[in-house]
Amino acid sequence: MVNFNYEADFKLNNEEKLEHWINDAVSEENFKLGDVNYIFCTDPYLHKLNVEFLGHDTLTDIISFDYTVGKIIQGDIFISVERVQENATYYNVDFNNELLRVMIHGILHFCGYKDKTDGQAKIMRSKEEYYMVRY
C-alpha cells in the first residue's frame, strides 16, 4: 500500500494513478509492494532529517529509508517539493516529470539499485526514464 503524506503546502491530485504506477514498477522489478510512505515536505524539514540521520548538512530532493524485507518493498520516502521545483527549473523540465523521477528513484533504491558510481547512476537514470514513460 502506498500512503501519501503532506508536510508542505502541496497536494497530489492523482494519488490512485500514482499508486498503480508504483505498484506496477515494483511488480516489474519482481518485488511485492508492502507499505511505502511518501512524505512531501519543505527544504527545512528535509534538511533537518539529512543532518540528523545522515550527517549531511546539505539540501537534497529526496531521502529514502528502506525497510524492505526479502522481496517485500517497504519504506519511507521524503521528498522536498521546493527542491523538486528548483531542480525542474534548473534542468528545464516540467515539475510533474521531475516529481515522477524523484518518486520512482526512491522505489528503485528499495529494489536494490544504487547511484554512487557513474555506472550505477547511468543504470538508475535509465530505469527512471523507463518507468516515467509508463506513467
Annotated binding site: 105, 109, 115
- Amino acid of residue 72: I
Beta strands across the sheet bearing 2-6: 2-6, 32-41, 72-80, 62-66
Closest CA to 27 of 103, 107, 101, 96: 107
Report the binding-site residues for Zn(2+).
105, 109, 115
Terminal-residue alpha carbon distance, the chain: 18
Are the C-beta atoms of 50 and 56 separated by less than 8 Å? Answer: yes
Across 1-135, the runs of DSSP E, i.e. the strands, are 2-6, 32-41, 62-66, 72-80
